[in-house]
Amino acid sequence: MADVPLIPALVEKFMACFKANDMKGLFSMYMVDCKIMKTGMDTAHGHEGLGKVVAGFHALGVTTVERKSEEVGPMGSDVMYERGTYTMKTEDGTLADTGKYIVIWKKVGSDWFQYIDIFNTNKA
């Protein structure tokens, strides 16, 4: 699929928006009916749910999320998956969490949006 190379640039944008606490920028990357599936909590729905998840991380002092895509592939003409690992750090660089994730991307028009974001900590 010709759009697969677009995902790394979108991941970079996600990381920059998170670091800047740019909620408008983050919301613009997710479908309005997105689902956020985080370890230890019920599925968060839509931009409101996304905002609560991000606010929770910031409340814990997390200021940086580093996502490393390990595999990206098509699931049809308007859906893609991304699988990878993440690292979360506090402002002083202290490791807050590491884990793995899967994002289901949906294409609307010519733009790609995160639709389902599943991430699981490696902590026992």
> What would the mean pLDDT of 3-13 be, rounded to a whole number?
88
Residue 1 has pLDDT above 70, yes or no: no
The structure's pTM equals 0.92
Return the SS3 of 30: strand
Average pLDDT, the chain: 94
Per-residue model confidence (pLDDT) at position 124 = 73
Edge-to-edge order in the sheet of strand 44-45: 44-45, 30-38, 111-121, 95-108, 79-90, 62-74
pLDDT-derived band of residue 4, with 50, 70 and 90 as boundaries? Answer: confident
Distance (Å, rounded) from C-alpha 111 to C-alpha 20? 22
CA angle 2, 104, 61 (to 5 degrees): 120
